[in-house]
């Protein structure tokens, strides 16, 4: 999974949830858009936290290999 997409998706959920929770005032029978907005914001925050934790726990190892080359031309037999 691409972690950038995970973080971007979390921000999208937070934004949509905030719009539904604070900017929409539609009354519907059976469900409440404000509650759905809060749920989306909570899921977005949890997703962002999990993505950041996954990014910080990934080991970034660097391997350096040294190669010694013999370039002494005078010591070779022709």
Domain boundaries, the chain: 3-57
Q: What is the pLDDT of residue 73?
A: 64
Lookup: tokens for 72: 């002494």
Q: What is the pLDDT of residue 12?
A: 95
Rounded to whole angstroms, how far apart are CA atoms 23 and 35?
12
Rounded to whole angstroms, how far apart are CA atoms 6 and 52?
9
Q: What is the pLDDT of residue 68?
A: 78
Q: What is the mean pLDDT of each run of 10 residues along the chain (78 residues)?
A: 73 94 84 91 94 78 75 60
Q: pTM higher than 0.85, yes or no? A: no
The 3 state secondary structure assigned to 21-49 is: HHHCCCCCCCCCHHHHHHHHHHHHHHHHH
Contact 43, 26 (CB under 8 A): no
Q: What is the pLDDT of residue 26?
A: 80
């Amino acid at each position: 999974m691409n972690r950038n997409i995970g973080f971007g998706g979390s921000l999208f959920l937070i934004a949509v949830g905030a719009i539904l929770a604070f900017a929409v005032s539609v009354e519907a029978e059976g469900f409440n858009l404000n509650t759905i907005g809060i749920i989306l914001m909570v899921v977005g925050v949890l997703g962002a936290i999990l993505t950041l934790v996954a990014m910080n726990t990934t080991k970034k190892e660097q391997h350096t290999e040294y190669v010694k080359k013999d370039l002494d031309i005078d010591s070779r037999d022709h």
